[in-house]
Amino acid sequence: MVRKRLLNADVYYGWVVATAGFGAATVLFGLSFSFAVFLDPLLEAFPVGSGTVSLVFGVQTFVLYTGSVPGGTVVDTVGARRSALLATVLVVGGLVGASVAQRFVVLLGWYGVVTGLGMSLLYVVAYTAVPRWFDRHRGLATGFASSGLGIGLLVIPPVAAWLVERLGWRGAYLWLGIGAGSVLLAATYLLADSPQEIGENTEHEFPYGEPPAVTRTPLREQVRAVSDIATSRAFLGILIGWLFVWTPLYVLMNHVVRFATEASLPTGTGVAAISLIGVTTSLARIGVGSASDRLGRVRTFVVSAALIALAVPALTLVDGRPVFFALTVVFGIGYGGAGALLSPLVAELFGAENLGTVFGLASVAFAVSGLSAPVLAGLLFETVGSYTPVFWAAGAVGLLGAGLVWSAGAATIRRGG
């Protein structure tokens, strides 16, 4: 009934799809970032060390991004709506399974692998369902959908902490599963795979032609088409560029609390910086996404990536909270801008056909960067005893990544691809 009313309302249905993507992103990243809340309770519940418990987050993150490759193929094959339903089953099932796990390895399987697979599908749906609906406002719409990341970061960890305090970690996982399932079922209900599927008028959004139809390409043809893209210089530039751009991001997000302590900043500065990044990135995803509709995806992404790369080493030059927080805001704007443009950039450079698979393949960069950058940063810090060379090296890598993305974008545009 609600969906029917929305279909008949004087609102382009693409914005409803973007709202569904916002809900999916909120659940996805809110659950992911809430793991820190469960660290101490899990250490008390299982006879393992903190490093072993942290493996749950590492496995989940790795599965999330590497699973986006087959997840993207699933989305391209069966559609965003059916994929979202499968993701809901996996996420809820993983959380419920984790709530009754009696051994650590079982917890790792349920929350790290099963929930991680559900998250990988959600990730592809949240980031690729929206671009198919937009041309004129693609950046704004995708930015709005992806801004759920910041809202999830702000809302779900505190709720998880409240649940742990009152119900214990098992009860918290159970009720997070119920809450996540409710939001994801609503998002799934609102999703539609394409304007053609529901007969939506697209003249205003696609003034120069019809949006590309969603076709169910045979797997062999799909593999051939994706292989051609994946072996191109432009795609390799995007893949390695994203890996390098996200290096300073992962370094800061994993080390900012310890860096603030080492820099003799007041207690709580690092934690406050994370919250500030959450707020800033949400607002930036909408604003920068909209700006990219006028300024161009590649140019806007490269500027956003440069802000990330420059803000991180600049933090080593500050000696007080005001400038520290100002640079944190700059970092958050860059993070929000780059994050908002991931799927629009792929769609613009390589087309919307097989978007889920191509986007998932490119997202492997985040798995590699997320696993390696924080560890290498920690090793370098232990070797030299200072974050200054760590942050400057990460910034240099980030700038190199921005250059690779610019080069890949320029080459693709020159070819007319």
Which pLDDT value is given to residue 191? Answer: 92
Enter the DSSP assignment of 109. I
* Inside any domain, residue 203: no
Is residue 239 located within the same domain as residue 375? yes
Is residue 7 located within the same domain as residue 93? yes
Q: Give the Cα separation of 285 and 307 in Å (integer).
A: 14
Q: 3-class DSSP state for residue 385? A: coil
Is residue 48 located within the same domain as residue 130? yes
Is residue 161 located within the same domain as residue 244? no
Domain count, the chain: 2
Is residue 289 located within the same domain as residue 143? no
* Inside any domain, residue 400: yes
* Inside any domain, residue 109: yes
Over its C-alpha atoms, the chain yields an Rg (Å, rounded) of 21
Which pLDDT value is given to residue 189? Answer: 93
Q: 3-class DSSP state for residue 73? A: helix
- Sign of CA pseudo-dihedral 269, 271, 274, 279: negative
Residue with tokens 């640079």, as numbered in its chain: 327
CATH of the domain at 124: 1.20.1250.20
Is residue 280 located within the same domain as residue 181? no
> Pick from 177, 193, 209: which residue ends a domain?
193
Q: Give the Cα separation of 116 and 110 in Å (integer).
A: 9
Which pLDDT value is given to residue 405? Answer: 95
- Give the list of residues 6+ apart from residue 204 with CB closer than 8 angstroms, or none: 12, 136
* Inside any domain, residue 319: yes
* Inside any domain, residue 213: no
Is residue 265 located within the same domain as residue 410? yes
Is residue 64 located within the same domain as residue 171? yes
Is residue 364 located within the same domain as residue 398? yes
Which pLDDT value is given to residue 20? Answer: 94
* Inside any domain, residue 200: no
Cβ atoms of 90 and 34 closer than 8 Å: no
Is residue 124 located within the same domain as residue 78? yes
Residue with tokens 């933090």, as numbered in its chain: 315
> Pick from 176, 193, 210: which residue ends a domain?
193
Is residue 31 located within the same domain as residue 138? yes
Is residue 148 located within the same domain as residue 267? no
Residue 39: give the domain boundaries.
2-193
Which pLDDT value is given to residue 272? Answer: 81
* Inside any domain, residue 343: yes
pLDDT tens, N- to C-terminus, the chain (417 residues): 556 666 566 788 889 999 999 999 999 988 987 877 887 888 888 888 766 777 787 788 889 988 888 888 888 888 889 999 999 999 999 999 999 999 999 999 999 999 999 999 999 998 888 888 888 888 888 889 988 888 887 888 888 889 999 999 999 999 999 999 999 999 999 998 888 887 777 778 777 666 666 555 666 777 787 888 888 888 999 999 999 999 999 888 878 877 888 888 887 788 788 778 888 988 888 888 778 888 888 999 999 999 999 999 999 998 888 999 999 999 999 999 998 888 888 888 888 777 888 888 898 898 888 878 887 888 888 889 899 999 999 999 999 999 999 998 886 654 544
